[in-house]
Amino acid sequence: MKKPIETSLHGHQLLENSYLNKGTSFTLEERISFGLQGLLPPRVATLEEQITRIHEHFSQKKTSLEKYVQLRALQERNEVLFFAFLSRHLEEVIPIIYTPTVGEAVQLHSHIYRSPRGLYISPENIGYMEEMAENLPSRNIELIVATDNQGILGIGDQGIGGMEIPIGKLSLYTLAAGIDPAACLPISLDVGTDNQTLLEDPLYLGMKHKRLTGKEYADFIETFVVKIKKLYPQVLVQWEDLSKQNAFYILNRYRDNLLSFNDDIQGTGAVAVAGLLNAVKIKNEKITDQIFCIYGAGAGGIGVAGQIYNTLLREGLNPEEAHQRIFVLDSKGLITTTQKNLEDYKRPFAANFSERYTLLEVIQKMRVTVLLGLSGATSSFTKPMVEALLQNTPKPIIFPLSNPTSKAEASPKDLIAWSRGQAIVATGSPFAPVSYEGKTYTIGQGNNAFIFPGVGLGVLAAKAKKVTDTMFAAAADALSKQVSGAELEQGHIFPPIQKIRSVSVQVATAVFEEVLHEGLAPTPKQTPLNIIKDKMWEPVYLPFKKIS
């Protein structure tokens, strides 16, 4: 018997609460008890009928942005129906609620804004955070995704338009890992924008001044963290799409005293390593046999380098041997120990060379076998580079991981053709299968949605005291194991997106077990798997019980 939801809301108040609203699915008894008689069409619809109606409207939309706006409006009206619809049409909707469509929604945020969701926190209102929390529709917040809007996908500073990213990420947390939407809070930290187009846009809804930097920025973040810890002592904070400098500073500053992680650094690293673990299985080689070239030295690129380095250590290499197999480049060439003004976060992966070799030169001179793109530089992987990779290995691994689709370093179609069908290819955004000389190649998507929801679920279910890099290593290993031997034989290195919920359960379980192994949570009375499954919210309508 499903436990009923107790509420004192009545009439339009109930219909306007997105967490409780059932729309046309309120039963006759509920309509009488809660003052809904006559406010709804007379026939009681099932959830499946509602989903069919939504899909009919969804299919009639002509553009992805129109579909995005429709789904956001549905979410603000009826959370259960929104997530039930997403769960039935995963392949169709994930590219809409997140990359690539979310990039367009971010850029147009102030022009398509419809209704409030989450918190917009600025230096002008941060002193009122206690009052803000009191005015939220839900008080039991377990999970926050917070962005300062500066490093959005591959499109940079987007001002408060970045709010669409936490909203999308939290939707994936619920969809993939069953985190109760009422426990989720998206936050945009509006410290200004350096995007002149936004500053000159009369419809821009954010603070119209240049970004805070230096001590002013650091003090703002410190105040935010202190208040969040006071308001929600057990909350998990995911830092999202910060600038590369701030991403590393904030992660290192707060990782030991705030339950938190950075998905761009740690999640991206984990999903890349999961793909690499499966790619080397296809090659029938070891990950320690590979030479890695990472193009892009931002949060994602350095995060991937760090996770690869840790993996090589676990597989038996010593620190020097591991470093000698990883080469990281930024837009000016190979990162070296001799270059001037080397940023601290890049220093661990600086090569001991005096010359800043180009990407092609690194591939040739260092005998690279794995090429990873996290640069946001469209079409930066070229045919000569792929041909150079083929000189080093018969089956090069090439992952153009930059998001959205328009920022990918190369198209899978070109990579397959240039490599004569030999490259093992995965991307960050979804791409259609590629046909080449009568064979179809499925393009794996290295989507962080395979990692961060499960990590969050595992950490919250275990009641962990902190989030560590080894938890992400456990997540990467668990994800790699979700691809079957038969799927590997077909060239698949990531599971199909339809398996995202079962994948998240396995990732969460691995993370939970790692939490216990590290002694960062009390020993549970049930198995981790049972605790995880008990915690997962399902998008189904529950009966109601009226309270006064």
Contact 266, 302 (CB under 8 A): no
- Burial of 257 (C-beta count, 10 Å sphere; 0-12/13-18/19+): exposed
From 22, 67, 169, 535, the catalytic residue: 169
In angstroms, the CA 351 to CA 247 distance is: 22
Angle CA 364–491–278, to nearest 5: 70
Contact 415, 442 (CB under 8 A): no
In angstroms, the CA 138 to CA 168 distance is: 18
Contact 447, 497 (CB under 8 A): yes
Q: How far is CA 374 from the centre of its chain?
A: 15
Contact 224, 126 (CB under 8 A): yes
Residue 194: Cβ within 10 Å count: 14
169 catalytic? Reply is: yes
* Tokens coding 259: 């339950």
In angstroms, the CA 415 to CA 217 distance is: 42
* Tokens coding 114: 């419809």
Torsion sign over Cα 36, 38, 39, 41: positive
In angstroms, the CA 440 to CA 340 distance is: 47
CA atoms within 13 A on the CB side of 355: 6
Backbone angles phi, psi at 293, to 5 degrees: -120, 120
The single-letter code of the amino acid at 508 is A
* Bridge partners, residue 327, by sequence: 293
Per-residue burial over 358-388, b = 16 or more CB atoms within 10 Å of its CB, e = otherwise:
ebeebbbebebbbbbbbbbbbebbeeebbeb
DSSP E strands: which ranges in 20-142?
119-121
Contact 399, 373 (CB under 8 A): yes
Alpha helices in 146-267 (DSSP H): 164-177, 196-199, 214-231, 244-254
Short-list 419, 398, 429, CA closest to 276: 398
* Bridge partners, residue 144, by sequence: 185, 237
Angle CA 81–236–79, to nearest 5: 10
120 catalytic? Reply is: no
The two beta strands, 434-436 and 5-7, are: unpaired
Short-list 118, 150, 122, 148, CA closest to 135: 118
In angstroms, the CA 414 to CA 418 distance is: 6
From 22, 67, 68, 98, the catalytic residue: 98
CA atoms within 13 A on the CB side of 106: 30
DSSP E strands: which ranges in 267-423?
292-295, 326-330, 333-334, 370-373, 397-400
Q: Is 50 left (phi over 0), alpha (psi -120 to 50) or beta?
A: alpha
Give catalytic residues, as residue numbers: 98, 169
